[in-house]
Amino acid sequence: MPRITVVTPSYNQVKFIEVAIRSVLLQGYPNLEYFIMDGGSTDGSVDVIRKYEPWLAGWVSEPDAGQSNAINKGWRIATGDIIAWLNADDFYLSGAFSIIAETFLHYHDARVFCGIGEIRDISGDVLFSKKQPSHFDPYAMLSACGEVPLQPSVFLNRRVLDEVGYLNEDLHYTMDWEYWIRIGLKYPRQCFISIDKPLSVNREWVETKTNTGWKMICKEHRQVMDMLFAAFPDNEALQNIKDQAYRSSYLKEADLALKNRDIGRTLKSILRAWLIKPFKHIPRDEIVTLMHLFGYYRNRGR
């Protein structure tokens, strides 16, 4: 069976990390390499990790330069044929590794394997039961400023590390989105294998980085766009979606600002989106954002 390497980055996630660890180890997969890269937790996480030390390929608890740095540290010592990362607040579903291994043996020249995933809340209640695998279309991901796969349901052929490189450690919120786009630009469609089976659960809760760092997420989205559009000046298909990509980034910022009751930034971001390129008709997503804003003001006035 192919070796599967999983890296879990963690920092002060004691209420989740044991579930994550057990979801890896209880796969019962015979050729597993599992690393935990803890950023120097002080909440008892280390005690939990140490309990499972006999079944780990290695672990550390030390200051790092962030989540991307922690994952890369694990990947650099990985020896697996298949690599992945599992955040400490997510977990794998039973049988996931066997499904991935069987698919890899059948499509051993493929580069990316992506399965179905679930989204659950902090209590484990299902919020979204079936997020479908991504096609890793880089143009769709850029133009929509999103369209990302469910990260823990993605497994990579280790050749990706040699051919594409590692996560961008300057990014702390959008490193997966940027990495998926880079991978999508590198390989043809046949290198991406979709698996119509559930592999993982992604938790959605108020203290995730996505929810607490929305301002930095929007900033990093445009930072990634600046880098990519500058790096591929001769890619006509990419350059043709440039305006739409930046418009989408500001509209996403407007929506996140509205959810966080920052009305000033909501209006400013909508205006920035509209000023990027003249248009004859207001796109549907702008209308939806405006309707949300109108509803907010109407309810506020009651």
Q: What pLDDT, in 10s, does the model give residues 188-235?
A: 999 999 999 999 999 886 666 666 778 899 999 999 999 999 999 999
pLDDT at 295: 64
Residue-wise pLDDT tens digits, 17-63: 999 999 999 999 999 999 999 999 999 999 999 999 999 999 999 99
| Rounded Cα–Cα distance for residues 35 and 165 (Å) | 19
pLDDT digits (tens, 9 = 90+) for 241-290: 999 999 999 999 998 888 888 889 988 998 898 888 655 555 666 666 66
Task: Please state which CATH number belongs to domain 4-209.
Answer: 3.90.550.10
Mean model confidence pLDDT for the chain: 90
Q: Where are the alpha helices (DSSP H) in 164-212?
A: 175-186, 209-212
| 3-class DSSP assignment, residue 115 | strand
Residue 176: per-residue pLDDT: 95
Domain range summary for the chain, segments of one domain joined by +: 4-209, 210-300
Residue 302 confidence class, pLDDT cut points 50, 70, 90 = very low
Q: How many CB atoms neighbour CB 168 within 10 A? A: 18
Greater confidence (126 vs 7) lies with 7
- Output the pLDDT for position 194: 96
